[in-house]
Structure 1
Amino acid sequence: MRHSKLTIIGILLMLSTSTTLAKEPLDCLEKALTQKEMNNCANINFKEVDAELNRVYYAIQQKYIKNKAFLKNLKEAQRLWIKLRDADFSMQFPHSKEAGYYGSIFPLCADDYKAELTLKRIEFLKQWLIGAEEGQSCRGSQALQITDDIPQTKNESEIEQVCYANVIPYNDNKNTNFKDITELTLNINYGDGSVKGKYNYLPAEKDQRFGEINGSLWKGAISAEYTYEQEGETNSINVRIRLDDEKAIVQGEVKDKILSVSDEIKKIPCQ
């Protein structure tokens, strides 16, 4: 058990060289006495590391936003890396789906191993944020080095607001000034992966819908609860939001079809 705790601490110290994300898992480990508690700490650690990967990946997308060929290959490379990570995990723990095979420590071992693989990926991707030195002939797609370092996590600069809207003229043969409007505003915290925002549907004729988004960024997509008010009633559904450089795709549905959403909303400058 002591060896397992030291392994997690080692990973957290590696992560803490570039971010303050490690504080919560370290606090957890200081208090952990049972195997179950240590397993929980390892899970917290992995989620922190995965959030850091998402942050670095998004930072690269923003830095190279004009290099479409690079971004296309980055997306494909990340997709294939996820497959490789899962394959490596299965190779390390081939009986992971057999309950109890590796004992009560397995949840810790599993999250620990995935965190190690993810940290290696983070260090690899950071090459594109750090950049290549002047005169390096084989830098390929890497930009030249700049003095600004990668932003630290869990501060105000980590929270980015992104905005999306569709405005469609509504033609009722009487008043062409009416419009159907869909608007989405998200505040994404790349430090802890949390996402909050507003998602409104404002048709010219039908009852309008106002709602709030509360969720988290996970593997490049947002999973969230959408709580909305329409026709004097308040309801909520789970939605999934995928973002790229030009649009947001929102999808969600409840079993009894109180509401079904499937919107593709254009990215716009935030006011």
Structure 2
Amino acid sequence: MQQENSIGLPPAEEPVIITKAYCFFNETSVANEPGKKDILELRLEISENIVEGYYNWLPTYKDQRKGSIQGILNDTIITGKYIFVQEGLTDTAKVKIILREKEAVISSPIKQLGIDAVIIRTDCR
């Protein structure tokens, strides 16, 4: 039985916000080194048009870059920011992510950061 509020009406139901998860993953073998791999992983959770997630670059021999994505979805394009840690330093970059059926295209106006990539869509684990 629902309790009534102070004016005698049943409480308003909380709106249900559906969150969808999208996952993307690239794995590249290191030349002439069996079992060694460089990995790119992107996970996005979208509620209405609000996007949160993470984007990690995990190379075998270089400093890794791990960080979070925050943005807004407009049609199939996410604009937002990427807050990441690399070589012990925290940095932020603007990003644009284009969502396609089988991939995500991520880019930043700061090309020297090496954020730009095409990442293959996969099932979320």
Partners of 2:76 and 2:100 within 8 A in 1: no
Could you list the per-position Cα deviations for residues 111-141 of structure 1 after superposition, in whole angstroms to 9, with x for gaps in the alignment? xxxxxxxxxxxxxxxxxxxxxxxxxxxxxxx
CA distance in 2, matches of 1:248, 1:184: 9
| Count of residue pairs brought into register by the alignment | 111
1:269 counterpart = 2:119 = no
1:169 counterpart = 2:44 = no
Residue type of the partner of 1:267?
R
Choose from 145, 155, 167 the match for 2:16: 155
CA distance in 2, matches of 1:249, 1:233: 25
Choose from 43, 54, 76 the match for 1:185: 43
CA shift, 1:195, in A, is: 0.1
CA shift, 1:254, in A, is: 2.6
Choose from 55, 77, 95 the match for 1:239: 95
**Ranges in structure 1 where 5+ consecutive residues have no aligned partner:** 1-153
CA shift, 1:244, in A, is: 1.2
User: Is the radius of gyration larger for structure 1 or structure 2?
Assistant: 1
Residue type of the partner of 1:167?
E
* Greater relative CO, 1 or 2 (CA 8 Å, sep 6+): 2
The 5-angstrom pairing of residues 1-271 of structure 1 reads 155-156=16-17, 158-171=18-31, 173=32, 175-190=33-48, 193-254=49-110, 257=112, 259-271=113-125
Could you list the per-position Cα deviations for residues 97-116 of structure 1 after superposition, in whole angstroms to 9, with x for gaps in the alignment? xxxxxxxxxxxxxxxxxxxx
Decide which structure has greater strand share: 2
Partners of 1:253 and 1:261 within 8 A in 2: no
CA distance in 2, matches of 1:236, 1:270: 26
Residue type of the partner of 1:162?
Y
Partners of 1:253 and 1:260 within 8 A in 2: no
Kindly, what percent of the aligned residue pairs are identical?
Answer: 34
CA distance in 2, matches of 1:236, 1:164: 21
Decide which structure has greater helix share: 1
CA shift, 1:155, in A, is: 2.1
Runs (4+) off by over 3 Å: none
Partners of 1:185 and 1:198 within 8 A in 2: yes
Could you list the per-position Cα deviations for residues 72-99 of structure 1 after superposition, in whole angstroms to 9, with x for gaps in the alignment? xxxxxxxxxxxxxxxxxxxxxxxxxxxx
Q: Report the TM-score when normalising by structure 1.
A: 0.39
**Ranges in structure 2 where 5+ consecutive residues have no aligned partner:** 1-14
CA shift, 1:242, in A, is: 0.4
CA distance in 2, matches of 1:205, 1:222: 30
Residue type of the partner of 2:26?
N
Partners of 2:107 and 2:117 within 8 A in 1: yes
Q: Report the TM-score when normalising by structure 2.
A: 0.83
